[in-house]
Amino acid sequence: MSTNVPHSAQVPPESTDAVTETGVVETVRDGYDAVYDALPRSDTFNGIWRTNAYRGEFPAEFAHIGFLTLAEARRLLDLLELADGDLLVDVACGAGGPGLWAARETGASLIGIDPSAAGLAAARRRASRVGLDERSRFQLGTFEHTGLPDGAADAVMSIDAFQYAPDKQAAMAEFLRILRPGGRVGFLCFEVDARRVEGVPVLGVDPVADYASLLDGAGLTVEAYEETPGWAERVQAAFDAVVDAADVLATEMGERAAAGVLAEATLTVELKPYRRRILAVAAKPT
Ligand SMILES: C[S@@+](CC[C@H](N)C(=O)[O-])C[C@H]1O[C@@H](n2cnc3c(N)ncnc32)[C@H](O)[C@@H]1O
């Protein structure tokens, strides 16, 4: 960690807390571990995702497995108002692409949190490749339990993952706890239609169709709440392409990882669980 950053941006010591939730988080983590391990082996998956999920509109060295475009990422950074030397926390960082991109753009330090050890390992390799290992750190945790001290973060971000949190109210309380007064949380994720996910694992556990009232109820001041352009077409195209390439993906990624992405693709295309994909930004009162 660089020592010339302001006090608020000093990266706190890594928590030794293990990921302790049972059930939902373990299910998701095991699936993502297999996917992150398989990604370097599958040009087909990486190509499908890049072309369809974000239309190639994100720098390749910060590639990700969400739907984030460069325009959306820039909008998020504008709203977060991060400054050089600030501490940014990316919750559900996965292999670290969007968080590291944001750290490079702003000069912020980064802590990435995810329950997937394989995702975190990939994020550390990427940080080193892009020359950001000195001001980034990646550690196990979840939305509800980041393991970070009170008031440590100048900003919190999360990309295409919050719909998986099994207790969103607890997650909001955690955002509030780890933000400094005046700090902001910004996320892109899917609003979930509860009627369509009744009994469905993970998405059906705590479906939320309106994150603005949840943010407000947690004591955060909502500053932006916007539907992201073109999301439905990109979701459909990406998951259709995954279904079409099922055989090649099984060969390249291995049965387990391919089955995971195929299950998510089939569920998304058939159930249509998402009302909208939104970008939300809210501030902790000063
Ligand atoms: C679609 S991926 C997105 C990863 C990354 N943000 C990106 O854009 O590439 C979803 C991520 O959410 C993480 N995740 C799932 N449930 C979580 C939870 N309860 N708390 C924190 N992260 C979670 C997964 O491990 C996975 O890395």
Query: Domain segments of the chain: what residues?
Result: 23-283
Whole-number pLDDT of residue 10: 46
- CATH, range 23-283: 3.40.50.150
With a 6 Å cutoff on the Cβ, whether 161 touches ligand 1 is yes
Task: Report whether pLDDT(14) > 70.
Answer: no
Whole-angstrom CA distances from 124 to 106, 149, 154, 248 are: 19, 22, 22, 28
Please state the rounded mean pLDDT for residues 46-51. 98
142 lines ligand 1 (CB under 6 A): yes
* Contact criterion met (CB below 8 Å) for 74 and 101: no
205-254: pLDDT as tens digits = 999 999 999 999 999 999 999 999 999 999 999 999 999 999 999 999 99
If you measure from the C-alpha of residue 4 to the centroid of ligand 1, how many angstroms do you get, rounded to a whole number? 31
Rounded distance from Cα 98 to ligand 1 centre (Å):
12
Pocket test for ligand 1, best of 32, 167, 174, 190 (most atoms within 8 A of CB): 32
Calpha distance 107→248 (Å, rounded): 40
Burial code (b: 16+ CB inside 10 Å, e: under 16) for 276-285 equals: bbbbbbbbbe
Which residue is it, tokens 């980034």? 136
H/E run at residue 216: helix 211-217
Identify the residue with better confidence: 267 or 16: 267
Enter the pTM of the model. Answer: 0.93
**Residues 249/38, Cβ–Cβ less than 8 Å:** no
